[in-house]
Each structure stands twice: as C-alpha cells, then as structure tokens.
Amino acid sequence: MNYAAIKTCDIANGPGVRTSLFVSGCTHHCKGCFNEEAQDFHWGQPFTPPVEDAILEALSPSYVSGLTLLGGEPFEPDNQRALLPFLHRLRQQLPDKTVWAFSGYTWEELTGQSRARCEATGALLSLVDVLVDGEFVEALRDISLRFRGSSNQRLLDVPASLAAGRPIPWEG
C-alpha cells in the first residue's frame, strides 16, 4: 500500500487533534473529489514499518485524540490488508486513542456483499470507532456539515453498529 500524506496535527477530520493518514488508491472516482491524485494506487510513498513507527510516535502525546484514515479509500481490499496489522499494533500500543475512518463505501457495502468486502473487512471494522460512510456526492455538498462533505454521508458509531447489526449514528 502507498500513502499520499500524513498530517500530524489535523483538526478537520474528527474531534480534537488527530493524526490523519491519507492512503492511496480509490475506485470510486467521485466527481469533485478533494483528493483526486490519491485515487491512484501508486501515488505517494510506500507504507513501511518506519512510516508506521512515525505515525505511532505522532499519536503518542496525550493531547492527540487519535488516528483518522482517509484517502484515497482505506476500505479498498488491498488497503484493508495493509491497514489491519497496523491498527492491531496501534490498539496494543495506544489503546486509548480513537480511530476514525472515512469511506466511500456504505456500512451496508462493508458488512454485506460488495467489491469492498474481503477477509480483512470485519476485523478492520472492529478496530474503528467511527465510520464516515458513503461516496462524496457533489450535488449534495454541504460545507455546514460536521466532518462530512455531502449530506448523504453518515457518521456511524462502529462498536454500537456491530453490536446492533445495523448502522447506529455517532452521537459525539
């Protein structure tokens, strides 16, 4: 997996100060995408163990709330496979940090049958606290929405959604 960018002091992609990992590769190709260059799976730099170490170091201060995964598309199957061991490591080393993920896939696509679903999906979802789901729809763009670009996107409480077997809104 490649990544397009890492922001170590991000306040736009989840609550509090966060470290954000923008992965490369996305097959959605949403019209009006804010990060179009990251749609290319080969864009950016390789996601290597030293990069993982640097992200964990950036997450370690107490004032950093957690990690946000964006893209590109974190839930492209190849990206899921690369992110899963890293999130396991994050949860072991920094269990109090929250994990947010932005995905163009809906909850229903990630938990049902879709091109996004692979052997890593269930485990990866279980390590995420909040999922912002759904493709960006330019016609539904709304800059007044908190942590979303278009009104079709949802903020979901992943642990509650997994327990209920249906999407549960995040009440943050």
55 in Cβ contact with 104 (< 8 Å): no
How many residues are present in the chain? 172
CA–CA gap between residue 169 and residue 172 (Å, rounded): 9
Quote the pTM value: 0.94
Phi and psi (nearest 5°) for 153?
A: -80, 145
DSSP letter assigned to residue 46: E
Q: Are 81 and 123 in contact (CB under 8 A)?
A: no
- Residue 105's SS3 state is coil
* Residue 42 confidence class, pLDDT cut points 50, 70, 90: confident
Between CA 141 and CA 161 the distance in angstroms is 25
Nearest to 82 by CA among 114, 129, 45: 45
For residues 45 and 51, the answer to whether their CB atoms sit within 8 Å is yes
DSSP state of 169: B
* Other beta carbons less than 10 A from residue 160's beta carbon: 15
Summarize pLDDT for 109-144 with one digit per residue, the tens. Answer: 999 999 999 999 999 999 999 999 999 899 999 999
* Contact between 157 and 144 (Cβ < 8 Å): no
Asked if pLDDT for residue 97 goes beyond 90, the answer is: yes
pLDDT in tens, 6-39: 999 999 999 999 999 999 987 777 676 666 676 7
Spatial contact of 57 and 96, defined as CB atoms under 8 Å apart: no
